[in-house]
Amino acid sequence: MATGSRTWKAIAAVAALIGLGAGAVVSPATSAGAAQRRVEDADRGITALSPLGLPPGAPTGGPANLVDPFDGTGVGETNPGNVSEYPGASVPFGMVQFSPDTSPDRGVTTGSGYDSADSRISGFSLTHLSGDGCAIYGDVPILPVIGALPPDPDNAAQPFSHADEKASAGNYAVSLGAGSPSGSIGVRLTATTRTALGAFAFPAPHGSGSAGADNRLFKVGDSANGSSASQVRLIGTDALSGSVTSGDFCGIPGDYAVYFTAQFSQNFVAGGTWRNDVVGSEHSCVSATSAGCGAWVTFRFPSATRERVLVKVGISFVSAAGATANLRDEDPGWNLQETSRAATAEWNGLLGRIAVSGGSRTDARVFYTALYHSLLFPSVFSDDDGRYMGFDHKVHSLPSLRLIIDLRLGHSPLGPLAPHR
């Protein structure tokens, strides 16, 4: 199946997401807590466990190195043409899929939020669905900008080139605004099961003694299929939290709410919110309509060197407290390299359960890329403590439950990969 300059030679599994959607509920005993994600050192490897309770693989190389996350991110000439894959950071069956959304075709030609034909990025949102075909998820896009706040923050976007992109299983990187007078912003993304971790490297301020004003836009109400409610509030000078309600996948009635807590590695010097593109300095916004809320925070760097600010975000389909607890349990530190290596190790631990021989390296890349895509979904929707939001919109907690709900058509690879689950 041709997808522009990228080709995915795999049979695409078809998934259905109604309201909250199908996913995985895993017990606290098998969830990826902070203790499970610790990197001991390069020689001893990773102590992380996947949501399936499988041992990790190598933190570098391995079959994860053969995966091409860009496969399936374009639109081909043959019907259906749209494979709807995203290139961003996720671990196997992760609740978080930290990935770029492109403009102008985010919700037009692809349900994944990313189209390889586009040349602008409108944000890096926290949730995506693999192979969906209709717009869904794409919740809470985060966009870094330089200088003054844009007058229309919901529609702000940054130029990028595919030559400046890199992606591997569990990791993504890109430069935004290359060639612009203000300089480019370096972006690196990785993830744990329920958290996102991003690094944004801003260019040095121009001129002797000048100070740079760099901003982050949180487009809280800008989910891929729109939103029916959203809220956000700034917490102190280094954090914010909020939620968004979206849904109606492929026109099927049903909604979900996702909650998030974001924390920065440095204090911001100013911040505020907007509603319906009216930007203000209020520290909170609540909207019960499609006129979505957003938040902005500003960092100012007096030095003449390139500055990097990290943001880590925990999410939950249960509550704001659940998002905060997931962030605390899964990513208590600020080590981007450690988290990145742990994500690679999780992929190697699962992909490495199937070994292939014969054929060319290209054949191996096709095989492991297809296997990788099949293991992005179903996604975990239970918190680290075992609580989850049911289809009845009530919170349930089954500490001993180890259940994978797989509504995809065709045979799932989970059986031979993890028969004990």
State the pLDDT at residue 366.
93
Cis ω for the linkage preceding 419 (within 30 of 0) = no
The CATH number for 70's domain is: 2.70.98.10
Q: Percent of the chain, pLDDT > 70?
A: 75
Q: Which of 220, 255, 221 is nearest to 241 (CA)?
A: 220
The dihedral over CA atoms of 17, 19, 20, 22, expressed in degrees to the nearest 10, equals -30
What is the distance between the alpha carbons of residues 314 and 266, in angstroms, rounded to a whole number? 17
State the pLDDT at residue 345.
95
In the three-class reduction of DSSP (H, G, I as helix; E, B as strand; rest coil), residue 369 is classed as helix
Q: Measured on CA atoms in the order 322, 394, 421, 190, is the torsion positive or negative?
A: negative
What is the distance between the alpha carbons of residues 331 and 94, in angstroms, rounded to a whole number? 14
Cα of first residue to Cα of last residue in the chain, in angstroms, is: 33
Rg, the chain, Cα only: 20
- In the chain, how many domains are there? 1
Query: Would you state the structure tokens that stand for residue 302, as one six-digit string?
Result: 């007096």
What is the distance between the alpha carbons of residues 162 and 179, in angstroms, rounded to a whole number? 14
**What pLDDT, in 10s, does the model give residues 142-175?**
999 988 899 899 999 999 999 999 999 999 999 9
Backbone angles phi, psi at 105, to 5 degrees: -100, 20
Model pTM?
A: 0.85
What is the distance between the alpha carbons of residues 32 and 198, in angstroms, rounded to a whole number? 19
Backbone angles phi, psi at 92, to 5 degrees: -55, 125
**What pLDDT, in 10s, does the model give residues 28-55?**
544 444 334 333 333 333 334 456 666 7
Backbone angles phi, psi at 22, to 5 degrees: -75, 150
pLDDT-based confidence at 208, cuts 50/70/90?
Answer: very low
What is the distance between the alpha carbons of residues 311 and 147, in angstroms, rounded to a whole number? 19
Residue 147, domain extent:
2-417
Contact, 100 vs 142, CB < 8 A? no
**What pLDDT, in 10s, does the model give residues 178-187?**
777 678 899 9
pLDDT-based confidence at 265, cuts 50/70/90?
Answer: very high
The yes-or-no verdict on residue 69 having pLDDT over 70 is yes
Q: Do the strands 278-279 and 307-316 form a parallel or antiparallel pair, or are they unpaired? A: unpaired
Average predicted confidence (pLDDT) for the chain? 80
Query: Would you state the structure tokens that stand for residue 278, as one six-digit string?
Result: 């009216």
Q: What are the percentages of helix, strand and coil residues in the chain, rounded to 5?
A: 15, 30, 55
